Structure 1
Amino acid sequence: MPSPLRTWASVLVLLAAAGCSRRQPESTARPSDVLPPVGPSELRAPEAFGVITDRADRSRALFLEASRVLLHPRCANCHPSGDTPLQGTEWQAHYPPVLRGPEDRGVVGLECTSCHQDRNLELARVPGAPNWHLAPLEMAWVGRTPRQVCEQLKDRKRNGGKTLAQIVEHNAHDELVGWGWAPGSGREPAPGTQERFGAIVAAWVETGAECPPEEAKP
């Protein structure tokens, strides 16, 4: 008859073996979790995303970084889902009241350029840049997820007929886009710089222009 001590030793060995063979829970870490931290007013360099080895995951992470600009009020205020532009950082309706008009440039007699010149008017606190206008309704971003914006940008029926190469050029060099980093009158600029933003968009395209999952947040 085995001794009690030997019996307990056998039990402990069996329990240890069962614990080792039990399937370990899968990691819930996201590819973006390996990226270096960044402040709210900064953008990561495209090279920082090299730590994400999977090309498609890297592309998705790059778009999430770009969406920190795309969904920032400095950009999204001119991409409303209705007929009224927004202003400020709290998505306030434009004051005085205006409408987008038939060509996204205001109504007759009250076009956008009636007030908004090709540069900021600091004394009057009126923002301005060349070609000031609203984005078309099919390019509305307010209230959209990064994935929805990504799908819009890739759809030539909803992005003004642009190729991906033209989207890169637009974001990297367009003067109205550039206003987002020089809004004047104490307004909060978009994160980073236009140069870095353009480089991030270019890297996103180069890695396959993949869209992040619906639940992903910037």
Structure 2
Amino acid sequence: MTRNHLSTALILLVMTLAVLGLAKSGLPDIVPVVSASGAFQSSADPFTTMMKVLTHQRCVNCHPAGDRPLQGEDSHYHNFGVRRGPDNHGVAALQCLSCHQRENNNYAGVPGAPDWSVAPLSMAWQGLSRVEIARSMLNPTNNGGRSLAEVVQHLTEHELVLWAWDPGVDANGVPREVLPVPKAEYIAAVKAWAAAGAVIPAE
């Protein structure tokens, strides 16, 4: 066998072993990434990435189905018997802004962001599937008459929404859970989903 033939045989052997190795181990999961320009780049669809955030308890806690907001990683009823109130900002001496200021109070473990409030009942997400949440989110009757562009703006720019990536610490000084999708990745996914027609998949 000549040297060229030997080299060719070795290359073929290496390629064969590589293919067999992939077949045995399976392909790795593809993780969504964001390009330098902020564009969404992933084999996973933007809707799935977006919904990993919107179905997280941190979002659902502020979209309760009842009169009482939820709190904590376990989504228990808000302490002190807090109620949503007529304008979704609490009642009487238990207004949201009585405790929740414009930024986190890490000394007391109280989260904060501008216009702290609960979502109106028309936008309750508690107990809904990701598809039901999306349908409600795009329904002008439920979302306060927002257009798709305004929904995207709310999801990607509203300070209370973006607080979810900077939740501070709890009353014991323990950092709150990190969301499953980085902020830049989420924002890119929302915009990509909307740009592609805001398609809502079947359940």
TM-score (norm 1): 0.72
Question: What residue number does 1:30 align with?
Answer: none
Question: What residue number does 1:188 align with?
Answer: 177
- C-alpha displacement at 1:194, in angstroms? 2.8
1:48 to 42, 48, 51: 42
CA distance in 2: counterparts of 1:92 and 1:100, whole angstroms:
15
- C-alpha displacement at 1:35, in angstroms? 9.4
Task: State whether residues 116 and 160 of structure 2, in contact with CA within 8 Å, keep that contact through their aligned partners in structure 1.
Answer: yes
Q: Which residue identity does 2:177 align to in structure 1?
A: E
Q: Which residue identity does 1:194 align to in structure 2?
A: K
Would you say 1:200 and 2:184 are equivalent positions? no
TM-score (norm 2): 0.77
- C-alpha displacement at 1:115, in angstroms? 0.6
| Runs of 5+ consecutive residues of structure 2 not aligned to the other structure | 1-26, 35-39, 170-174
Question: What residue number does 1:90 align with?
Answer: 74
Q: Deviations over 1:7-50 (max 9, x none)?
A: xxxxxxxxxxxxxxxxxxxxxxxxxxx99444xxxx6542113x
Matches for 1:39-188 after TM superposition, within 5 Å: 44-45=33-34, 46-49=40-43, 61-185=45-169, 186-188=175-177
| Runs of 5+ consecutive residues of structure 1 not aligned to the other structure | 1-33, 53-60
Aligned length: 167
Q: Deviations over 1:90-111 (max 9, x none)?
A: 1211112100000100012211
- C-alpha displacement at 1:198, in angstroms? 1.7
Q: Deviations over 1:43-70 (max 9, x none)?
A: 6542113xx7xxxxxxxx3212211100
Q: Deviations over 1:138-189 (max 9, x none)?
A: 1111111011011011111111211111111112111111110000011113
CA distance in 2: counterparts of 1:107 and 1:206, whole angstroms:
40
CA distance in 2: counterparts of 1:87 and 1:199, whole angstroms:
27
CA distance in 2: counterparts of 1:44 and 1:73, whole angstroms:
23
Higher-Rg member (1/2): 1
Q: Which of the pair has the greater relative contact order for Cα pairs under 8 Å at 6+ separation? A: 1
CA distance in 1: counterparts of 2:49 and 2:63, whole angstroms:
19
CA distance in 1: counterparts of 2:199 and 2:152, whole angstroms:
15
